[in-house]
Structure 1
Amino acid sequence: MSDTAATAGAGERTAGSAGPVGAAGLIPAPVSVTAVPDGGAFTPDSATALAAGPGTETTERWLRGTVGGALGLPLPPGPAGAPNTVTLVVDAELAPEAYRLTVTAGTGVEIRGGSGAGVFWGAQTLRQLLGPGAFRAAPGAGSAIPAIPAQTVEDEPRFGWRGLMLDVSRHFTAKSDVLRMLDLIAAHKLNVFHFHLTDDQGWRIEIKRHPRLTEVGAWRPRTKWGHRASELWDEKPYGGYYTQDDIREIVAYAAERHIRVVPEIDLPGHSQAAIAAYPELGNTDVVDTAKLEPWGDWGVSPNVLAPTENVLRFYEGVLEEVLDLFPAEVSPFVHMGGDECPKDQWKASPAAQARIAELGVGDEDGLQSWFIRHFDTWLAERGRRLIGWDEILEGGLAPGAAVSSWRGYGGGIEAARAGHDVVMCPEQQVYLDHRQHGGPDEPMPIGFVRTLEDVYRFEPVPPSLEPEAAARVLGTQANVWTEVMQDRSRIDYQVFPRLAAFAEVAWSPLGAPADRDWAGFEGRMGAHYPRLEALGVDYRRPAGPLPWQKRPGIKGRPIEGAPPNV
């Protein structure tokens, strides 16, 4: 951060405090806001120009099309620094995702970013300063453009990995809703979209050399309604998938918003949909895999991949197409799952036992590690990096792999101390499919109670980590599993407003959890809720679900014998 931010003086307000930051309701809270006493204000109008310097083209397009379209501002091109102009500049003296937004009465707004991404995040802050009307799709009643007080906002993110994982296998998310979610995470300055594309319940990405993956694997005959403890079923066949052109569109749309897309292809567990499409992928000596269908139930299927060379070649072919669809410049990482792989079929399979002996891997954990190590090497040879859930630690961690630590902090701590990069996404804190309240009205409640305040007090870096190991924490990610999220509205309800709290944890320098200004954040959310409403987000209201958001009579998952908040 520049000397200006360090010495701003009495006008400065830091993240989460009252004053200019609180007044504007900026979320995530910036590092600093310096007000200009008696400095006047700037109000964009139909004559306001847009001056976009080299490297700011994505923000130029977004401001003119999205914000300009919402407010009825044409934002024609104009010279940098001229009166009544929004000026965009890449400034290499700033950190890549840092920005400085300066509002000057009579002159306009200047956004300097350390890269195109930094300029874009600064433009997201400008959108918030322009009021809820800037979050609509077109100008209309109540969308008068507010005056923006003269000020300087200086900001940069705490973490380089600020992610959201969306499971589209349990319940499919239409392409249009994926694009909408990308807009929503961009509005909260998140920069990673983890795309969970395959699982037991459905294969969602077209692979041209293996067409049955979507012809068969994308469609299940029926679906459990509610948690797996529920006795209810929806007998309607269910499914969907993305064509390769759909994927290219999603990836390009994300790149325009400076979001990296990390695809996930799950193996060797969570693979029943693939086995249903190609039965030879399964353990055919112990299971009649020809009778399998994509799974309509929840939980962990016992049907896992066979440890054969043919299976490796099959998934190498899958990944060749995946790498083409998700170029390295979009994201170097490919998520290979690696979690919740039941070993019962391998224990019962003479072929699998012979394979363990042949490979010299010791046991079934070693066999799972063999799968992961193979694809770690395969991806590394192609300039990519494998990332997987923390079970990839079992049986030995692949040398170049990164870890998504979901079973608490333990796996992440172990991996970081061993020199591996880590994304912290512990289930107990940032699984947004878990219920937000312990009351009886939560729709299909599952898992731990995690309120908006709980998420706000989440700390991605365990205090027990030594500085060298802590530097291995790339960042953090909120995960959204969709077993009980049948449509966009249900996803909205579970994700928002908690994603706003998570975004602030990932971006802002909040300090220790106990010291965080929850009251200040809650106050700023008062300005943020109208933005969510303008975007059409069906978020959970602070007072609880609206009548139509409830799901009476559908079993959730209160955990027997657990503490009251579980």
Structure 2
Amino acid sequence: MKHCIVFLLTALSCINLAAKPKDAPAFNAHDLSITWEPVQNNYKTPDQSLNAITITNNGKNTFPATGWKMYFNCARLIATATISGNAKIDFVNGDLFSLTPTATFTEIKPGQSLRIEYIADEPVVNITDGPDGFYVVWDSQPDKGYNTGAWSLKPFKPNYVGLITPAIIYDQNKNIQDIPEQQLTKVFPTPVSYKETGGFFTMIAIHHIVTSVSPNEFKNEADYAEKLLIKLFDKTDHQKPTLSIIKGEIDFEKDPSLPAEGYYLKVAPDAIYIAASTPTGAFYGIQSLLSLIPASAYARPQKEIQIPCVEIKDEPRFSYRAFMLDVGRNFQPKSEVFRILDVMALYKLNVFHMHLTEDEGWRLQIPSLPELTEVGAKRGHTLDSKHFLPPSHGSGGEIENKTGTGFYTVADFMEILKYADKLHIQVIPEFEAPGHARGAIKSMDARYDRLMAEGKKEEAWKYRLSDPDDKSQYSTAQYWTDNVINVSLPSTYNFVETVMDDVVKMYNEAGVPLKTINWGGDEVPKGVWEQSPAYLKLKATHPEIQNTGDLWYYFYGRVNQLMKARGLYTSGWEEMALRKTKLDGNPFYIPNPDFMPEHLQAEVWNNTLGGGNEDLAYKLANAGYKTVLTPVTNLYFDMAHYKSFDEPGYYWGAFADIDKPFSFIPFDYFKNAKVDRDGLPLNRNIFIGKQRLTDYGKTNILGLQCAVWGENIKSTERLEYMLLPRLLGFAERAWSKDPDWATEPNTAKSDSLYQIAWVNFVNVLGKRELPRLSYLDGGYNYRVPKPGVVLQDGRYAANIQFPGLTIRYTTDGTDPDAKSKIYNDAVTITGNAVKFRAFDTKGRGGNVSEPVTP
């Protein structure tokens, strides 16, 4: 028995040693919590801010004063020397910084905190301006990162120009009247022709969907409708409801006279009739039928559903209605992609642009080049990027993380393609080149190192994207110093062609058509390639290349030829379509005449007000380029809604609440530009001399695209918060005809017509579409706006952007919840602790309004 005990103790000892390596740190980094505090804007200069990082030890052991470095991400540049003097902050690359303790840094005992004050190069505007993703690297383990624990921020009440207060919100909402739901158009986006004919079609779970088309041309659409409608009904006798012909029917017919995406929908008391010339048109007729169903029907299983009798004839304004999602910077799971596709289909969008690659990640498996995901799809602590990429956007030092690490397998991507195709959505993949390509470059460097170690020099060079002898120095808008593919290397085109072929194969195997691939082209910085031996060699043999700017046309010319050989056309961002020249000695861009006959598709984002390129999209369209409008001022949904500390999102291009997409006038977006990028009244002199869109140019506007870039999108919830309900303002502009206020030349009359349309729109959203989104697919995390609040004559008055939402308030200093008092009319409240908050139909609250008290 004694020997057995000894054996057991020895075994336990071995288990402990296996669980905790001898070089594991004695201190658990997760016991540290980090708090960021913006202290002061305009610190010493208007362009600086004073900030503080507080490290708190929540563990039982002392955090040492030396023997470690801390790393974190921040989108703002930071001064090296700290004000507190107890640490030094160094820039690494991109948005990665290191924090090193100095001699005055003291150990942090259990329960104690230490504060580090530092200077950032820009003022603090909102919560995205701070550091994130802290992790510790011990000197004894320089290759290993340990994430710290909880991160939090202290509230900040900046006093800057353009700050949106509850009183300003109240003033913005004051003219929004409440429209009874029965007076609202019950199909969204607004149809071309809509008439309510009186009465209801009563749908129960035993209706039949039939088509009179032979041979079942609309069968897939009918099956889709049946699947969605069944979900709305109660289950009887614990069995799945079936649709069988007992009372009434849903009938599909083919009508060749209707446009390709158009439809005719008639709901009568005894039947529902959908006519279309194509399955796509029939599908949009189904979406309108679903839009007619009361939002309350989505909340719980129904016994029967009453659908108002209507007659609708409809077709889209633009044939290209796109949403672009960046999953390169922060990854989104396949399940969330399906949810996004569902909501796109509901609002009749037909292009899903997947921004699959970035400096910070490559997200699609390419079987011929496995390193792209073996290396490029992972993020964790590394200083050489030989095995994975460094942390970015707060992803942390550990490889296992939800946003920095992840990719779609071939099977995943084919599943996405098939799912989108059933929803009549075209998926356009984007592989960013030659800039924004660090993920690809480092992956191919890893491939090179592996094959060189195996003695396979020729194979190692086959897909190399960087010239190891290139001494060029540059820094991008995102502070990367090594993220541009060298387009002078022949191996670059081997890479492009191989990626192209693998993607074509995926589409073919999925049975889904591929029309184009987007090859990026955005933000290649000054200084790139200038000291590359590969460039100098190419220049010597190609007289048409006089400078590095000419490499642009060389690269895209070759890419375009590869695309054409595969029956595809080339898409890219606007710079792909521009010729770099000079005007009065200064850099100047003009539409590139060489590419005009090639029918390249240019997606134009750069219309930053005051930046000088306000008319760039119109220039390209007037010159003959097929142009997709993706303006940062109105359709970038990663931009913060407005200037307030508690609103997430970047703001370098604009602030963009839902009025921005709704008020966008595609053929004259100068007209409704009211404020600058800081939200202040716009000096309209910036439009003097700018090109307006010609009638010929209008024929080259393919459509509209909204976008969510991924820097700040660290969860599925945040994605939906930024996208919805702004997507609905976009859908209205992309689908519906040009509204009267957009073409009215009289400014006062146009403003009056706009206000009428705006009030109707926000009522439709608040009373029909947002309640639907609360329950559809389990509910979307759309943004619930902050109430407007003002103190008038000793009473607090509150209002809301979307009528139909509920406002609640508290007077004891706590944040209102779903059980707090409901606000119905102006209230007299004593004390200074009043707070207001809006809630949706499920009791989910938005940001809290704290009015300024006297």
Report what 1:494 is aligned to: 722
Matched position secondary structure for 2:344: helix
The structure in which a higher percent of residues are strand is: 2
Alignment of 1:12-161 (within 5 A): 23-36=184-197, 39-52=198-211, 53=213, 54-72=216-234, 74=241, 76=243, 84-105=248-269, 107-133=270-296, 135=298, 139-140=300-301, 143=302, 145-161=304-320
Identify the range of structure 1 (475-484 vs 413-422) with the bigger mean alpha-carbon deviation: 413-422
- Select the residue among 384, 398, 409 that pairs with 2:568: 384
* Distance (whole Å) between structure 2 residues aligned to residue 429 and residue 214 of structure 1: 34
- Select the residue among 454, 457, 461 that pairs with 2:663: 457
Deviation at 1:89, TM superposition (A): 2.1
Distance of aligned partners of 1:407 and 1:115 in 2 relative to their CA distance in 1, 3 Å threshold = same
Amino acid corresponding to residue 324 of structure 2 in structure 1 = M
Report what 1:405 is aligned to: 604
Whether 1:358 and 2:541 are equivalent positions in the alignment is: yes
Deviation at 1:70, TM superposition (A): 2.7
- Select the residue among 521, 527, 543 that pairs with 1:344: 527
Q: Which has the higher contact order (CA 8 A, sep 6+)?
A: 1
Amino acid corresponding to residue 474 of structure 1 in structure 2 = L
Distance of aligned partners of 1:225 and 1:285 in 2 relative to their CA distance in 1, 3 Å threshold = closer
Matched position secondary structure for 1:504: helix
Unaligned runs of 5+ in 2: 1-178, 236-240, 382-389, 446-463, 580-591, 608-613, 670-691, 743-749, 788-836, 839-843, 849-854
Question: Does the 8 Å contact 1:263/1:335 carry over to 2?
Answer: yes
Report what 1:10 is aligned to: none
Identify the range of structure 1 (48-57 vs 151-160) with the bigger mean alpha-carbon deviation: 48-57
Deviation at 1:439, TM superposition (A): 1.8
Matched position secondary structure for 1:150: strand
Question: Structure 1, residues 506-543: CA drift from partner, whole Å, max 9, x if none?
Answer: 00014244444111111111211101111211111122
Deviation at 1:67, TM superposition (A): 2.4
Report what 2:484 is aligned to: 304
Amino acid corresponding to residue 93 of structure 1 in structure 2 = S
Question: Does the 8 Å contact 2:327/2:354 carry over to 1?
Answer: yes
Question: Does the 8 Å contact 2:358/2:432 carry over to 1?
Answer: yes
Report what 2:144 is aligned to: none
- Give the structure-1-normalised TM-score: 0.85
Aligned-pair identity (%): 30
Distance of aligned partners of 1:353 and 1:65 in 2 relative to their CA distance in 1, 3 Å threshold = same
Matched position secondary structure for 2:289: helix
Matched position secondary structure for 1:475: strand
Amino acid corresponding to residue 371 of structure 2 in structure 1 = R
Alignment of 1:255-404 (within 5 A): 255-279=421-445, 280-286=464-470, 298=478, 302-306=482-486, 307-327=488-508, 330-359=513-542, 360-395=544-579, 396=592, 398=595, 399-404=598-603
Report what 1:524 is aligned to: 764
Whether 1:431 and 2:636 are equivalent positions in the alignment is: yes
Deviation at 1:130, TM superposition (A): 1.4
Deviation at 1:353, TM superposition (A): 2.7
Matched position secondary structure for 2:412: helix
* Distance (whole Å) between structure 1 residues aligned to residue 345 and residue 430 of structure 2: 20
- Select the residue among 441, 444, 468 that pairs with 2:646: 441
* Distance (whole Å) between structure 1 residues aligned to residue 772 and residue 380 of structure 2: 39
Matched position secondary structure for 2:336: helix
Distance of aligned partners of 1:325 and 1:445 in 2 relative to their CA distance in 1, 3 Å threshold = same
Matched position secondary structure for 1:43: strand
Question: Structure 1, residues 166-214: CA drift from partner, whole Å, max 9, x if none?
Answer: 0010010111111111001101110000011111111111111111001
* Distance (whole Å) between structure 2 residues aligned to residue 92 and residue 363 of structure 1: 55
Question: Does the 8 Å contact 1:303/1:345 carry over to 2?
Answer: no
Question: Does the 8 Å contact 2:205/2:230 carry over to 1?
Answer: no
Deviation at 1:75, TM superposition (A): 5.4
- Give the structure-2-normalised TM-score: 0.57
Matched position secondary structure for 2:348: coil
* Distance (whole Å) between structure 2 residues aligned to residue 21 and residue 387 of structure 1: 44
Report what 1:559 is aligned to: none
Distance of aligned partners of 1:144 and 1:507 in 2 relative to their CA distance in 1, 3 Å threshold = farther
Amino acid corresponding to residue 271 of structure 1 in structure 2 = A
Question: Structure 1, residues 282-325: CA drift from partner, whole Å, max 9, x if none?
Answer: 13112699xxxxx9x95655421122111101210110011222
Identify the range of structure 1 (252-261 vs 386-395) with the bigger mean alpha-carbon deviation: 386-395
The structure in which a higher percent of residues are helix is: 1
Question: Does the 8 Å contact 1:30/1:156 carry over to 2?
Answer: yes
* Distance (whole Å) between structure 2 residues aligned to residue 72 and residue 90 of structure 1: 32
Report what 1:556 is aligned to: none
* Distance (whole Å) between structure 1 residues aligned to residue 298 and residue 365 of structure 2: 33
Question: Does the 8 Å contact 2:636/2:708 carry over to 1?
Answer: yes
* Distance (whole Å) between structure 2 residues aligned to residue 197 and residue 380 of structure 1: 22
Question: Does the 8 Å contact 2:348/2:731 carry over to 1?
Answer: yes
Unaligned runs of 5+ in 1: 1-17, 227-231, 290-294, 552-566
Distance of aligned partners of 1:550 and 1:354 in 2 relative to their CA distance in 1, 3 Å threshold = farther
Distance of aligned partners of 1:19 and 1:403 in 2 relative to their CA distance in 1, 3 Å threshold = farther
Question: Does the 8 Å contact 1:206/1:213 carry over to 2?
Answer: yes
Question: Structure 1, residues 31-67: CA drift from partner, whole Å, max 9, x if none?
Answer: 121122xx42111012211113332122212111122
Question: Does the 8 Å contact 2:785/2:846 carry over to 1?
Answer: no
* Distance (whole Å) between structure 1 residues aligned to residue 521 and residue 633 of structure 2: 20
Amino acid corresponding to residue 723 of structure 2 in structure 1 = V
Distance of aligned partners of 1:548 and 1:373 in 2 relative to their CA distance in 1, 3 Å threshold = farther
Question: Does the 8 Å contact 2:418/2:512 carry over to 1?
Answer: no
Amino acid corresponding to residue 502 of structure 1 in structure 2 = F
* Distance (whole Å) between structure 1 residues aligned to residue 392 and residue 497 of structure 2: 35
* Distance (whole Å) between structure 2 residues aligned to residue 427 and residue 47 of structure 1: 48
Report what 2:413 is aligned to: 247
Report what 1:176 is aligned to: 335
